[in-house]
Amino acid sequence: MKNFKLSFLSSSIAFLALTALTLFSAEVEAKKPIKIGFSMALTGGLAGGGKQALVSMEMWANDVNAKGGLLGRPVKLIYYDDQTNSKTVPGIYAKLLDVDKVDFVVSGYGTNLIAPAMPVVIQRDMVFMGLFGMNNNKKWKYDKYFQIMPSGPDPGVGFSKSWFDTVMSMRPKPKTIAFVAADAEFAKNLKEGAVTNAKRLGLKIVYNKNFKPGTPDFTPIIRAVNATKPDLFYVACYPPGSAGMTRAISEVGTKTKAFGGGMVGLQFSGIMKGLGPKLNGVLNYDFYVPEPNMKVYPGVRDLLKRYRKIAPSRKVDPLGYYIAPWSYAYLQVLGQAINAVGKIDHAAIAKHIHATEFTTVIGKVKFGKNGEWAKGRTLTVQWQNIKKKKDLQQFTQPGIRKIMAPFAFATGKVKSFNELR
């Protein structure tokens, strides 16, 4: 009997100890952060966008943590500067997964910096949210990839559709087009889709060449294009090229009816301020502008009010129109999916994202084929009425970047390039 009591007592103590250990482990797990890792362009040619993105991502993490985190656990962002250099990206994601042991990964900013991360993430079979990638999943068809740029289910073609809708409304109708693109993955993908649109519309292509990143002088390119006398001039490139091409066409001049299209960086505050009236007449893509017809983006204004209070101390883009809403939104999608599934299960989270329409600061988001937007919402805008040099505030006013298309959002009518010069 004595042995039985001792055995029972020992078993009870062991049970209580195990229970206490289990509860302690659960408590420790609950305090353990959910880690989200990524690379980001904090230096180099895309730093203007990357720094802006990071600020809004940190805003999202702070907002989530103020409400109790994800799955009752705090969120921690872990990131490294990819220097706008695609060669650094695979090593960064390997480190995030193998050393930092992150629970989730999202992409850095831009097609060229998403592409080298894809094989690493696919190998680990993880959900991967992309930030402004052009056709990154066309090759892989990876079922756990989702990207936030609203260019539609066929992004290469969809990205420039509203641009071509706009120019084909001009009278007389244009008949010829020239293409110039940076020799980089994003620009070439974008130009390929634009060429498809041009051929569909019966436009004759009179010039089609790429330029090397780092090109110091764009005036020879402008002169070569001018020699072919195109009605339309479509350009696809990253910020250094976009600013350089705009300055060059202002210097050399042109008789083309429409210039622009896929020029990244013209949306950045610093570039807008620096170019000023040189932007008048440029017809380019955008995703959000301070025009009256932007109610489809219900949370952007409030987000940008908060962002602009932070921006000066962080020395980032002071307006935040271009990247901030979207980098906040792609983490919103991931966070909502994690909470909905209730656990870290990448297959279940991907399945939920495929099946769900999400409510975000940029409105309703639904993903379709290859993780692209089920329905596109890329804007074509034209700079008009810029009168002052070095004046950033004018770009916060309606009537400066008028929406041309989609026509349901239009706030103005397109004018020929030289009419606004």
* Residue 25 banded pLDDT, cuts 50, 70, 90: very low
Question: What residue spans of 102-258 are helical by DSSP H?
Answer: 111-114, 118-124, 155-167, 185-200, 219-226, 239-252
Which tokens is 353 given? 């994202």
Specify whether the CB–CB gap between 252 and 225 falls below 8 A. Answer: no
Strand order through the sheet with 128-131: 75-81, 34-40, 104-109, 128-131, 145-147
The count of other CB atoms within 10 Å of the CB of residue 53 is 30
Residues 159 and 262 reside in one and the same domain: yes
139, part of any domain: yes
Give strand pairing partners of 78: 37
Mention every residue, 6+ apart, whose C-beta is less than 8 A from residue 35.
76, 77, 78, 100, 101, 102, 103, 104
Phi, psi of 284, deg, nearest 5: -145, 165
Task: Please name which of 118, 124, 107 lies closest in space to residue 50, comparing C-alpha atoms.
Answer: 107
Residues 69 and 176 reside in one and the same domain: no
Based on the number of CB atoms within 10 Å of its own CB, is 11 exposed (0-12), middle (13-18) or buried (19 or more)?
exposed
361, part of any domain: yes
Q: What is the DSSP letter of 67?
A: T
Residues 264 and 194 reside in one and the same domain: yes
- Identify residue 354 by its one-letter amino acid code: H
Check which CATH number belongs to the domain holding 237 and give it: 3.40.50.2300
Q: Mark residue 127 as left, alpha or beta (left: phi above 0; alpha: psi -120 to 50; beta: remaining).
A: beta
326, part of any domain: yes
Distance (Å, whole) CA 284 – CA 261: 4
Mention every residue, 6+ apart, whose C-beta is less than 8 A from residue 256.
178, 225, 226, 230, 231, 232, 233, 417
405, part of any domain: yes
Residues 233 and 365 reside in one and the same domain: no
Residue keyed to tokens 């073609």: 157
Residues 161 and 281 reside in one and the same domain: yes
Residues 329 and 363 reside in one and the same domain: yes
Residues 204 and 319 reside in one and the same domain: no
Q: What is the pLDDT of residue 295?
A: 87
Which tokens is 266 given? 């013209």
Which tokens is 32 given? 């353990």
Composition of the chain by helix, strand, coil, percent to 5: 45, 20, 35
381-417 pLDDT, tens digit per residue, is 999 999 999 999 999 999 999 999 999 999 999 999 9
11, part of any domain: no
Residues 164 and 248 reside in one and the same domain: yes
3-state SS record for 120-144: HHHHHCCCEEEECCCCCCCCCCCCC
Residues 132 and 178 reside in one and the same domain: no
Distance (Å, whole) CA 268 – CA 322: 7
* Predicted structure pTM score: 0.90
The mean pLDDT value of the chain amounts to 93
Mention every residue, 6+ apart, whose C-beta is less than 8 A from residue 143.
350, 354, 371
246-275 pLDDT, tens digit per residue, is 999 999 999 999 999 999 999 999 999 999
296-338 pLDDT, tens digit per residue, is 899 999 999 999 999 999 999 999 999 999 999 999 999 999 9
Query: How many structural domains are present in the chain?
Result: 2
Distance (Å, whole) CA 156 – CA 311: 32
The count of other CB atoms within 10 Å of the CB of residue 137 is 24
Lowest pLDDT segment from 24-28, 250-254, 296-300, 353-357 = 24-28
3-state SS record for 297-308: CCCHHHHHHHHH
4, part of any domain: no
205-225 pLDDT, tens digit per residue, is 999 999 999 999 999 999 999
Q: What is the pLDDT of residue 15?
A: 54
Q: Which residue range is the domain that position 233 belongs to?
A: 155-286+384-420
21, part of any domain: no
Q: What is the pLDDT of residue 17?
A: 46
Residues 364 and 398 reside in one and the same domain: no
Residues 137 and 163 reside in one and the same domain: no
What's the average model confidence in pLDDT over 234-248? Answer: 97
243, part of any domain: yes
Which tokens is 241 given? 């090229």
Residues 274 and 393 reside in one and the same domain: yes
Q: What is the pLDDT of residue 169?
A: 97
CA atoms within 13 A on the CB side of 397: 11
Q: What is the pLDDT of residue 12?
A: 55
Which tokens is 278 given? 């040189």
* Residue 20 banded pLDDT, cuts 50, 70, 90: very low
Phi, psi of 307, deg, nearest 5: -60, -45
What separation in angstroms does the CA of 351 have from each of 131, 214, 289?
20, 42, 33
